[in-house]
Amino acid sequence: MAANRFVKSSLHVAFAAFCATSLVLTPAASIVAAMGVSSIAWSRLVLKRHTLVEVTLGGLIGAAAGLALRLWG
C-alpha cells in the first residue's frame, strides 16, 4: 500500500502473483499460475484500469511477498 501513494499499483495482479509464487510447488503448476497472472495483467491493461508500469509494479510486489512467505514463512 505504500507504493500506492505515488503509483496506483494493480492489487489484482499483486494478489495473483502472490498466490502464484507462494503456492506453486511443481513445474506444471508454475506454468498454469504464470498464465493466470498474465491473463489478469492483460485484462487490467485492456480494460484500461492500469498502465503497464502499475501492472508491472503490482506483479513485482506480489511476487516479492510470495517469495518472502516461502523463504521465511
pLDDT at 9 over 70: yes
Which domain range does residue 14 map to? 3-72
73 vs 66: CA distance, rounded Å: 9
H helices of 1-73, in order, are 11-23, 27-46, 52-72
Count Cβ atoms within 10 A of the Cβ of residue 25 and give its class: 0-12 exposed, 13-18 middle, 19 or more buried: exposed
Tens of pLDDT, residues 17-47:
999 998 887 778 888 999 999 999 999 999 9
Residue matched to cell numbers 484500461: 48
**To the nearest 10°, the Cα dihedral for 17, 21, 26, 31?**
20
- Report field, pTM of the whole predicted structure over 0.95: no
What domain count does the chain have? 1
